[in-house]
Every structure is written in structure tokens, then in C-alpha cells.
């Protein structure tokens, strides 16, 4: 009777080993399926909203250090010259050159991506509501991102605006970039 019991124990051990190997194989297959699924999905909405929330500030940071193609001046120095009343720099009137340069930069970045925006430069505590209140008319809008469409609810500003503050002799100049979105 000892011999059949030993054979039975060996066969049970063999069955348990096969079941263990099968479980390991199933776990490995599930792991590979999970990795393949994770790699094939597009970025999550959390990632997209993070990127979108930082676009305005990132664009302003890039503008602030961009070369103005004006005698070695960068955009910060050019705006400073505009606000401090310099009438001429090497490349022309600083306010006009600054506004035109920013317009070109925004057209080649945000407008290519079809992102509605509002760009304003101002002094004082409150942002200007129109071009007349902005420094030298430095007030750019694209694709309907304006006071009227915001008041009527066609657009909303979901993310924080980008800020760029430049100290000048009379105080601070503030530059604000807002990216508009549809409310839904």
C-alpha cells in the first residue's frame, strides 16, 4: 500500500506545480496586456489640462527672453524702452516694434494651434478693457477672445492667465496673456 500512496502524492505535487506555472503565465500575460494598453492610449485629460494651464505662462516666458532683432535688445528691454518714453531705438519706435514682434510671435504659436487669446500690456492695478486703456495700444486679441464674447458666455477663461511683470522707473508694467476656451 505504500507504493500507490507515494505515486498519488507525486501526481498531486505535479498537478500543483502545473497549476502554479499556469497561474504565473496568466499573471505575465495580464501584465503584458496592461502595458500594451497603457502605451497605446493618448495622454490623459489630466495631462492635457496641465499643459493647457501652463501655455499662457510658458508663451510669456519665451517672449520675455526672445531677441527683438533690434540692436541686441530682448523683448523685455524693448518694452521697458517703450514705457519709459524712448522715442527711437535702433530699429524704430519701441512700442510699435514691440507690438509687431509680439503679434508675429503669437501668430506663429497660438494662432497656428487655433487657441483664442487676449494679450495686454498695462500699468496700474487693473487690466485694460480695450486698446485705449493699454500701453500704446498693446492689446491683441484672436478668434473672438474679447470682453463681449466673455460677457455673453461664448468663451470662458478656465486657466490662470500668464503674467510678466517688468519693473520700470515709474512702477511696474504688467503683461497678461489669457487663453480662452469654450464653456463646455
Residue 133 covered by a domain: yes
Q: Are 120 and 139 in contact (CB under 8 A)?
A: yes
Residue 154 covered by a domain: yes
Length of the chain: 184
Residue 134 covered by a domain: yes
pLDDT at 87: 86
**pLDDT band at residue 4 using 50, 70 and 90 as cut-offs:** low
Q: What is the largest CA-CA distance in the chain?
A: 112
**pLDDT band at residue 49 using 50, 70 and 90 as cut-offs:** low
Q: Are 82 and 94 in contact (CB under 8 A)?
A: yes
pLDDT at 29: 92
pLDDT of 9 above 80: no
Same domain, 72 and 89: yes
For strands 171-179 and 117-123, give the pairing: antiparallel
Q: What is the pLDDT of residues 111-137, one digit of tens each?
A: 998 889 999 999 988 888 888 888 888
Same domain, 86 and 170: yes
Dist CA 55 CA 101 (whole Å): 19
Average pLDDT of the segment spanning 31-52 = 74
Segments forming the whole domain that contains residue 27: 1-41
Instruction: Report the predicted TM-score, pTM, of the whole model to 2 decimal places.
Output: 0.70
Strand extents, DSSP E, 16-111: 67-70, 73-74
Same domain, 69 and 113: yes
Residue 184 covered by a domain: no
Highest mean pLDDT among 31-40, 61-70, 175-184: 61-70
Using alpha carbons, list the distances in angstroms from residue 101 to 1, 23, 77: 97, 64, 13
Same domain, 35 and 96: no
Residue 14 covered by a domain: yes
Same domain, 36 and 60: no
Picking from 41, 56, 71, the residue at the C-terminal end of a domain is 41
Same domain, 20 and 99: no
Same domain, 134 and 87: yes
Same domain, 11 and 52: no
**pLDDT band at residue 73 using 50, 70 and 90 as cut-offs:** very high
Same domain, 76 and 160: yes
Number of domains in the chain: 2
Amino acid at each position: 500500500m505504500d507504493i500507490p500512496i507515494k505515486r498519488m502524492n507525486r501526481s498531486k505535487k505535479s498537478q500543483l506545480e502545473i497549476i502554479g506555472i499556469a497561474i504565473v503565465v496568466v499573471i505575465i500575460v495580464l501584465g503584458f496586456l496592461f502595458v500594451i494598453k497603457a502605451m497605446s492610449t493618448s495622454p490623459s485629460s489630466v495631462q492635457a489640462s496641465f499643459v493647457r494651464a501652463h501655455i499662457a505662462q510658458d508663451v510669456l516666458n519665451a517672449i520675455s527672453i526672445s531677441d527683438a532683432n533690434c540692436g541686441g535688445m530682448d523683448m523685455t528691454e524693448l518694452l521697458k524702452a517703450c514705457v519709459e518714453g524712448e522715442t527711437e531705438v535702433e530699429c524704430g519706435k519701441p512700442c510699435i516694434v514691440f507690438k509687431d514682434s509680439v503679434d508675429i510671435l503669437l501668430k506663429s504659436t497660438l494662432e497656428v494651434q487655433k487657441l483664442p487669446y487676449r494679450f495686454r500690456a498695462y500699468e496700474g492695478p487693473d487690466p485694460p478693457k480695450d486698446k485705449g486703456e493699454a500701453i500704446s495700444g498693446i492689446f491683441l486679441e484672436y478668434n473672438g477672445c474679447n470682453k463681449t464674447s466673455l460677457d455673453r458666455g461664448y468663451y470662458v477663461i478656465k486657466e490662470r492667465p500668464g503674467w510678466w511683470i517688468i519693473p520700470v522707473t515709474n512702477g511696474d508694467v504688467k503683461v497678461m496673456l489669457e487663453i480662452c476656451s469654450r464653456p463646455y
